[in-house]
Structure formats: C-alpha cells, structure tokens
Structure 1
Amino acid sequence: MKLFVIGNGFDLAHGLKTSYYDFKNYLDEENWAFLSSLESMYGLSVGGWMDHASDGMIKSVFENRLWKDFESKLSDIDETIIYSGEDIELGLEGGDIGVEDTLDDYWEDQYEFIKRLNDYLVYWVKQIDISNIVKKTNMISELSNDKFITFNYTLVLESIYNVDKYDILHIHGSLDKNDNLPIIGHGDKEKVSEMREVAREAKEEYNEKKYSIYNAIANYYERTLKDVESFIYSNKRFFESLEKVDEIYVIGHSFGDVDIPYFNKILKTVGDNTKWYVHFHELKDKLNYREILINKVGVSEDNITMLGSEDVFNI
C-alpha cells in the first residue's frame, strides 16, 4: 500500500494560485492595511523590488519560502526586546503595576489579529476555482486502496482524482463540510513551556514585571498553538491504517519545521524499511530535503529516492 503526502507544490503544479504571493495579492485587494500590518509584524515583507522582479523563478522561490516559514514565525517573538521596552508602546515605563493586564490586552489584540487572518484565509480558499483543472500525474489511482495525507486546503484529490475522502487526512483542515476549516497556528509546543519556566523563575525571584511579561507571552503562544499531539491522537485510527504502507510518495511538500512532527509520526507508524520517494521542484531542494528526512525525521538514507518534477507530473 502507498501513502501520498501532499504539499502546496502539488496544487501549484495543477495551475492553482495557492502561493503566498497569491494570498498576498488577495489581501492587498481586500484589506491593504491588514496586509501591511501582517508583513511588518511577522517580518514577511518582500520589499518593493519584488513587485517588479523580472525573474519569475526568483520571485516564486522567495514567495514560497515565506509561505513555508509563515506559521513558524508565529512563535518567533523576541521577548527580550519586549522586556526591555523597546518593541511596543505599552506604557510600561511608569512601573510594574498592571503590567500583566496591559500585556494580556496587547496579546489578546494579537490573537484577534490571527483570528482575522484565519478568516481571510478561509475566504481566499473558498474563491480558488478548481473546476477547470485536469489531472497532472498518473501516480494517483482512484481504484487503489492508497492513503493520502495532505497539507493543502483545497479538494483537488477528492474532486479531480476521485479519491475517497475517507482515505484522505487534511492536516490543516479543508472546505469539506465534514472537515475542520483551515486554521493557522504554530507547532512550537516547547516555546510555551520555555516561557512558562522563565515566568516561574521570575515569580520565585519576586520580579513581577518579568513574570507578567513572560506569562502573557506564554498565554499568546498557547492560544496560537497547533497541538500536533492532540491532532494525531484524535486521528489515531487514520494513522493506524498506515501500518501496511510500504511506499511513501512526498509530492510538493517543502518540509517546514511546523510539519516535521507529522513525518516523525508517519515513520514511527510505517516502520524503518518503508521506501520514501520524495519530489523536488528545484535542484537546490534535492539535497536539502534528503538531509531533513535523514537528520530531522530519521529516515534511513538507503530508503530515500529523490524524484524530479518530470518523474511525477505530466509535463
């Protein structure tokens, strides 16, 4: 039995406009001010030169890197700058009284910002038209008993390849009425624990300001966390169905840090001897993806075969 792990490159190969650049254009039309805040807040601004880039390949590479890294940036707050009072205007310079309430209000605003971003994401996915796209690979057969894990929000597998929806797990949600809606969040559970520990130590040292700051940041991290362990547990029956998988095809996925725990779970479920066939779009990704599989996921080098786009898609 085969398992297909599908990433955004799969949808892009089918001509769908699902890159960060496309989402950026959507936000630009819907709410330019919100987009500006988003890119400055999380360091996603690509600079004015990107709007006039003549090399489409450079533009695509840069934008897709941003899309891959975006969720990890949700847990990339420089709390030391906040502690020093240099980053945000919170009125903390007047003393430590009310610091925790002030910061909780600030991070509540940030959380509401993420929820608004999530709403825009859902609206954007809903307007992506997949009705006119055609099959681009012969690897996927509706007659097989293969399983699919997709990190995409679209329903290309169900609608275009006629894959039974019960053989598909949408990691980040989808627009299917029986599935969770698309959701944005980070996967750094350790960051929550790290902030809680700093807050605990500060409390023991009677440093009220430091305690309040780190506790408030921990609250924010906790609310924007995608709990991978809980998700895997709630879908344990699907993961148990992967025990007989002997071949894994990873197509269009760029192995962002947020998603690595899912690959760890897959490896643990299927066993060490399963063969991994990994698609890469650009030559520079070939070595990078292989190293991630070996060093971060734990796949044996002997079990990895790299596949170029010509090996996967009908080009």
Structure 2
Amino acid sequence: MSQLIIVGNGFDLAHGMNSSFGSFSNSISSNTKNQWLLALKKRYIDTGYDTWYNFEILIEEITRKWFVDYFDIVVKKEDINIIIEEINSINTPYSQIAKALMDYLAKEDKQYYKKLDSISKVIREDSYALNFNYTKLLKQYINSKNIHYLHGSLEEEFIVLGYKYSPRHKGMPFEARLFEKEILREVLNYRRYLSNKDLKDDIFQSRMNELYENLHTMFSGLGSIWFDYPEELDNKMMDETSNGVTKATYGYFGIPFKTKLSPNLDREMRKERLQKISLELNDYGEKNDFKPQPIKLNIELDKIEELLILGHSLEADLELIDELLYKMVNLRAIKMFVYDGENEKSIDEKIKTINKVSDIAIELVSY
C-alpha cells in the first residue's frame, strides 16, 4: 500500500524538540523584538505577552491593516512614498525574525532525538513525505530522497514563513505581499532551480535579486504578456493570443503550461526578453509562461492509498491539503497522530477540515 505522510511541527515537538514559536521567542534579540512590537503598535494591533510571537498570523494582519491606510492615501492622492517606507519598516523585522528562527532551529536540529515506537510501527522507509518542517528529524524514519520540503529547509538556508493568500489581499501592492506563502514558495522554487546550475555565489545572489525585481510579473496574472515589448511585437502577440490561448487547470500541483504562439513569434519575444533579464530567469519563467510554477513532487498522488498526518494543523496550509486530498483518488485509509492532552476542539477542527473533501473515516493514533 503506497503511503504518504504530511508532517508538521507537532512531529518535532513530540520528539522533544523545542521548535514552538514560544520557545523560539525567548532567543530573539531585543532590537528585533522592539522593532516588531513597534510595527504592531503602529497598526493598533494589541498583543499580550503570549501572542506577540504568533508571527505568521500577525504578519498577515499587520499588512492587511497597512493596506487599508495605503488605499486611503491613494484615494486622497497624498504622498504614497511615506506609506511605502512604512511597509519596509514592517518587512525588515519580520525578515530578521525568519533569519533568527533558522539560526535557533539549526541548534535544536543538532540535538539527538530518539525515534518513537508509535511512529515506527506505522511508517515505512519507502513512504513519501510532504514535510512542512525545516528540520531533518524525519530522515530518521524514511529515505531522505522521498521527503519533499514544501516550505524549505535549514539545509537550503531558506524557509517559507508567512501566510496563505486571501481574497482580502487582492489589489495589495507587491511590497506588502512578500510574505505570502505562494510567493515565498516561488522564491524557494527558483533557488532550487538555480542550485542545479552550479553558479558562483555572487552570480547566484545576483539572480535571486533579479527574481525579486520581477516577481510581480509572475503574480500579475498576465505572465509573459506583461513584458514591455516593442509595439510591433505587442500587436503580433495580441493577434495570435486573441485566437486562442492554452487553458490550464489551476493548481498548486498542476502541470506547467504555455500560451500558444507561433515558433517565429516565440523566438522574437524570447530574444527581446533576453535583453532585459538573464538567461536563467527567462528559461525558468518560460516553463510556466511566467506565471507561478506548480510544486513538483515526483509522487503519483493517484496511487496513494494511505495518508498519515503527523503533527500538522492542516488549516494553515489548507489550500495545499485540499488539493492533495482531491488528487488522491485511490485513498483508502487516513491516520492522524494526536498527543496526550491535545485539545479536543483542535482535533475536531482537523477532522472537519479533512471531511470537507474526503468521507474516509479517520483513525486517531497516539504518539
């Protein structure tokens, strides 16, 4: 029976790793903490001693409130540069927090953690895993080649620490969207793409900087059409695309697609783009018509028969979980690990989340 495992922070916690935001918060420098608290205070976000470190929830709330002020200034036609500077004062401490979290977890990850018999009994070495953690602990149980780090890893020196997209963010300036998970996953995807190019460190960093300068293209919805082509090329492109564009079923785990263009026009547009962007970014963008790249898993989801959920809250990454469950058409069994004393409401919410897309009875297993 093919087995897929979804792993969240509860897995690391169950082994004794101090990987909670609460534990990490004690290691944050006073300067970074004060900058973060000041940014929250400016947006009238009231936090207590045990809520200021709910980073992923708060960064979404703080940027959303910032957008309300931004929109008000645009309507009144006031100086927009002031509010743009303010979003940078929000992004800076949050970036520092993400870096500090990596440093903190790197120390925790070096510790020895004993394997749990309860997990060893149900998990197989040839299982596939979607790991939302950044640590290497899961490698004690299954072949590392079968582990896909959806949110980056300490080894890669990049992690996805942010919030899922919401319709409430529509129209938000790109400066305020840098910590959307979908955008961070795109950055991670490109880092992985470049890592296979054997680039020198300075070239690698230059290419990453270039991506940030062009990310708004990939998330504009226009794809390759967005580039500033000469008028003649624009007219040719509009003539061809008006006769039909390749349609793609949107999905986080879908198949890349390209707009249908004649070979000659495709070559002309590529030549024009290469005067503005690097070969690496162009070739990467072409894979999906300069739209967000699907997540490549190398897992045949339609052959998965058993799903294990190890310490993931599900709600935080609901858009991915939903699509995974829909694609696992031959799923027969779901097992969800819970820890002693876990809040019943929390367990019920996870079950309800799964039941929205699957009617399979869920077996609860204790760590």
Query: Would you say same fold, with TM above 0.5?
Result: yes
Q: State the distance in 1 between where 2:165 and 2:133 align.
A: 20
1:312 aligns with 2:267: no
- Match 1:153 to one of 123, 130, 134: 134
Q: Secondary structure at 1:27's aligned position in 2?
A: coil
Corresponding residue pairs, total: 256
CA shift digits 1:50-102 (9 cap, x unpaired): 6xxxxxxxxxxx899x46745654654264466668xxxxxx9xx734x2222
Task: Please show how residues 137-176 of structure 1 align to structure 2 within 5 Å.
Answer: 137-140=117-120, 144-158=125-139, 160-161=140-141, 163-176=142-155
The 1:143–1:8 alpha-carbon spacing in structure 2 relative to 1, beyond 3 Å, is closer
Q: State the distance in 1 between where 2:102 and 2:318 align.
A: 24
1:220 aligns with 2:175: yes
Per-residue deviation, 1:306: 4.0
How well do the aligned residues superpose, as a CA RMSD in angstroms?
3.3
Per-residue deviation, 1:285: 2.0
Per-residue deviation, 1:137: 3.7
| 2:162 corresponding residue in structure 1 | 185
The 1:108–1:39 alpha-carbon spacing in structure 2 relative to 1, beyond 3 Å, is closer
| 1:46 corresponding residue in structure 2 | 48
Contact 1:278 1:304 in 2 (8 A): no
Per-residue deviation, 1:122: 1.6
The 1:109–1:81 alpha-carbon spacing in structure 2 relative to 1, beyond 3 Å, is closer
- How high is the TM-score relative to the length of structure 1? 0.68
- Match 2:325 to one of 258, 267, 273: 267
Q: State the distance in 1 between where 2:119 and 2:82 align.
A: 55
Task: Please show how residues 192-231 of structure 1 align to structure 2 within 5 Å.
Answer: 192=169, 194=170, 196=171, 217-227=172-182
Q: Secondary structure at 1:227's aligned position in 2?
A: helix
| 1:4 corresponding residue in structure 2 | 5
Q: State the one-letter code of the partner of 2:108.
A: I
Which structure is richer in relative contact order (CA contacts within 8 A, separation 6 or more)?
A: 1
Contact 1:242 1:269 in 2 (8 A): yes
| 1:206 corresponding residue in structure 2 | none
Identity over aligned pairs, percent: 15
- How high is the TM-score relative to the length of structure 2? 0.59
| 2:238 corresponding residue in structure 1 | none
Q: State the one-letter code of the partner of 1:25.
A: N
Per-residue deviation, 1:105: 1.9
The 1:34–1:266 alpha-carbon spacing in structure 2 relative to 1, beyond 3 Å, is same
Q: State the distance in 2 between where 1:105 and 1:252 align.
A: 38
Contact 1:28 1:35 in 2 (8 A): no
Q: State the distance in 2 between where 1:186 and 1:68 align.
A: 6
Contact 1:27 1:35 in 2 (8 A): no
Contact 2:37 2:52 in 1 (8 A): no
Task: Please show how residues 1-315 of structure 1 align to structure 2 within 5 Å.
Answer: 1-27=2-28, 31-34=32-35, 36-37=37-38, 40=41, 43=45, 45-47=47-49, 66=54, 69-70=57-58, 72-73=60-61, 76-77=64-65, 79-80=67-68, 96-97=77-78, 99-140=79-120, 144-158=125-139, 160-161=140-141, 163-176=142-155, 179=156, 181-188=158-165, 190-192=167-169, 194=170, 196=171, 217-227=172-182, 232-233=252-253, 236-238=295-297, 240-257=299-316, 259-271=317-329, 273-280=331-338, 281-295=342-356, 298-300=357-359, 303-307=360-364, 311-313=365-367
Q: State the distance in 1 between where 2:168 and 2:125 align.
A: 41
Per-residue deviation, 1:175: 1.4
The structure whose Rg is larger is 2
The 1:167–1:19 alpha-carbon spacing in structure 2 relative to 1, beyond 3 Å, is same
Q: State the distance in 1 between where 2:174 and 2:295 align.
A: 28
The 1:143–1:32 alpha-carbon spacing in structure 2 relative to 1, beyond 3 Å, is closer
Mind listing any 5+ residue stretches in structure 2 that lack a counterpart?
190-251, 254-292
| 1:203 corresponding residue in structure 2 | none
